[in-house]
Chain A
Amino acid sequence: MSLLSVEKLTVAFPGQVAVRETSFAIAPGETLALVGESGCGKSVTAFSVMRLLPPNARVASGRILLEGTDLLALSPAGMREVRGKQISLIQQEPMTSLNPVLSIGLQIAEVLRRHEKVSRKQARARAIELLDLVSIPDAHRRIDDYPHNLSGGMRQRVMIAMAVACHPKLLIADEPTTALDVTTQAQVLDLLDDLRHRLGMAVLLITHDLGVVAQWADRISVMYAGRIVEQAGIKPFFAEPLHPYSRGLLGARVDVEADEHYSRNRLSEIPGSVGSALGEAGCSFAPRCPIAVPGCRIAPPPLVAHGERAVACPRVGA
């Protein structure tokens, strides 16, 4: 049975729909990458799983099942028991995600004291272990540091320590490395991957960086304009993307070895913008699609299974 399964989730903001009938599942211990460009609904999907949507957004339909329990049907108090204990969240911006007036040790210890019956002293000892676990050197001295004493990468490590403190089953990482430089990014992702194996958690990795996906994810779900257009394992996906949008995304990557450079030839791109999907009755990618046929503009194509993977494009594999 899958750990988390999102079924036909639709999230609406006033005047627009951010996520449409999105379904996906995560198996225990698996890393699923949710990929797409800005504004395609990746973060909204993640925040709906935590039930932390902005107040003007609402889940219009669908179910979010965590080991069979519908999170959307839980009481607010019941949901608070899930957050931080069963599902944790790592945010994009480590510089502002820690409370500036509390020491990091206190912040980690508080999570433990919130969800587990531990004394102050035990919580502090566990906080040191956790800092050690996320490879912060000199953990027993660092524990009394304040966030402003730490670099961005260190802060993200502290955030990870807080997120995994109570051994959650699922960790949602919302672009965890966007704000970090490339070397730190690799370290943080390696750490996440290592923790996932050691703690047996599943990870929902939200990113727009296909390099990150290729290296650290097991499966990928490509989102476009609020819909998942392709789901596949990492190897088959990078070997042969099926959906024209996925192909466009992979095609837009610059291959340095093939001597591609903007000064020599035009880099490949996907024509148009996400905005062109507005008011589209059919496939939201149709206006930008190189292989669209008139039939694409009538109704949105469903996600159809093709062996292990699934694609929402009638022109694929027929």
Chain B
Amino acid sequence: MTVDAELTPKVADVGSRAAPRKGRRLRAFLRNPTFIAGVAILGFFVLLALFADMLFPGDPMDMVAQPLLWPGDDAQYPLGTDSLGRDVLAQLVHGTRASLLVGFFAAAIGLAIGMAVGAAAGFFGGWTDTLLMRLVELFQTTPTFLLVIVILVIVDPSLPTIAMAIGVSSWPTVARLVRAQFRSLREADFVMAARSLGYSRLRIIVQEILPNALPPVIVAASVMIANAILTEAGLSFLNMRDPNVLSWGGMIGDGRDQLRNAWFLTALPGAAIAMAVLSLNLVGDGLNEILNPRSDQS
């Protein structure tokens, strides 16, 4: 029983080894052009959202010029003005905030619920699984968009409630994904090893299985954010939005009356949405390639 005493002197300098491995991981990310393109575009939008107040100080909802200026008509308003004479570029930049925020929070809520339900169903199996999966099917048989609308009819639409509504209606996909992962991973030898070391079930779920189940979930998350942004745009278009908050969908909704004479009012925010969604999909594809163990060369 004196192993500790015997070996204590051998405890030498520790660490200094993690750095090169992280470098390798980083290189794997940098080698992936899809991922880089996605991150670049997404990063651009995030920066816009962060520095919107600096780039365009003042309220973007203020009427600043004559209405319906076309892009290029006035150098001060490069993307023109809408029917109320508001700067389209300022609105676009400020709208990034709402769209991204709703996207991220809706995905976070969806992921949290989905992961909890999926992990419980997949790990415990049996009755828990049957019950939770019926619940998932109940949600999946309802069209997502319809469900969001129903929720927003009950609660007043504002950024948090919109994010919550989208999150609550988008978790079943994640739950199924996580459940499938847990079902195969719970039989893994390292889970048996963890049980043989006396770890509790919660600990095995959170610490042993969950990190191994994450790669497909991370990929799904980026697509969830994209979907949430799209859904938010659709809701704003239908006027189910917080009237005091600018968003791309809201701009499209406002611009649709001028569709024939000022199509740029809908096309520009539409393009912004398309770019954001595209960037998130690129990030998702890139992550899929990078995190897929079969494509791992390191």
A88 to B200 alpha-carbon distance, docked (Å):
15
A143 to B15 alpha-carbon distance, docked (Å):
8
A32 to B189 alpha-carbon distance, docked (Å):
24
Q: Which of B51-59, B191-199, B268-276 lies at the interface with chain A?
A: B191-199
**Interface status of B263 (Cβ within 8 A of chain A):** no
Residues of A within 8 A of B8 (CB): 125, 129
**Interface status of B12 (Cβ within 8 A of chain A):** yes
A55-97 contact mask (Cβ, 8 Å, vs B): 1 or 0: 0000000000000000000000000111111001101010011
Residues of B within 8 A of A200 (CB): 1
A114 touches B7 (CB 8 A): no
B1-44 contact mask (Cβ, 8 Å, vs A): 1 or 0: 10110011011111101100100000000000000000000000
B11 touches A125 (CB 8 A): yes
Residues of B within 8 A of A208 (CB): none
A202 to B165 alpha-carbon distance, docked (Å):
59
Give the residue among B18, B192, B198 with the most A Cβ atoms within 10 A.
B198
Chain B 169-220 residues near chain A, CB threshold 8 A: 188-190, 192-200, 207-208, 211-212
Among B3, B17, B192, B212, the residue within 8 A (CB) of A91 is B192
B10 touches A162 (CB 8 A): no
Residue of B nearest to A77 (CB): B200
* Number of B interface residues in the complex (CB < 8 A): 30
Among A111, A141, A146, A198, the residue within 8 A (CB) of B197 is A111
A199 touches B189 (CB 8 A): no
A84 to B212 alpha-carbon distance, docked (Å):
23
Say whether, besides A97-B190, A99-B208, A88 and B196 are in contact (CB < 8 Å): yes
A96 touches B188 (CB 8 A): yes
Chain A nearest CB, measured from B168 CB (Å): 30
Say whether, besides A52-B192, A93-B189, A129-B8, A144 and B15 are in contact (CB < 8 Å): yes
State the main secondary structure of chain A at its contact with B. helix
A143 to B18 alpha-carbon distance, docked (Å):
10
B3 touches A80 (CB 8 A): no
Interface size class of A (residues with CB under 8 A): 35 or more
Residues of A within 8 A of B198 (CB): 80-85, 114-115
Chain A 251-275 residues near chain B, CB threshold 8 A: none
B199 touches A80 (CB 8 A): yes
Residues of A within 8 A of B199 (CB): 80, 84, 114
A194 to B199 alpha-carbon distance, docked (Å):
27
B211 touches A97 (CB 8 A): no
Among A83, A93, A132, A139, the residue within 8 A (CB) of B196 is A83
**Interface status of A140 (Cβ within 8 A of chain B):** yes
Residue of A nearest to B193 (CB): A97
Residue of A nearest to B15 (CB): A144
B7 touches A140 (CB 8 A): no
Residue of A nearest to B9 (CB): A129
A96 touches B4 (CB 8 A): no
A128 touches B190 (CB 8 A): no
A102 to B209 alpha-carbon distance, docked (Å):
11
A140 touches B14 (CB 8 A): yes
A112-133 contact mask (Cβ, 8 Å, vs B): 1 or 0: 0011000000001110111011
- Residues of B whose CB lies within 8 Å of any CB of A are 1, 3-4, 7-8, 10-15, 17-18, 21, 188-190, 192-200, 207-208, 211-212
Q: Jot down 7 A-B pairs with beta carbons below 8 A, ordered by A.
A: A85-B198, A99-B194, A100-B190, A129-B8, A133-B7, A144-B15, A145-B17
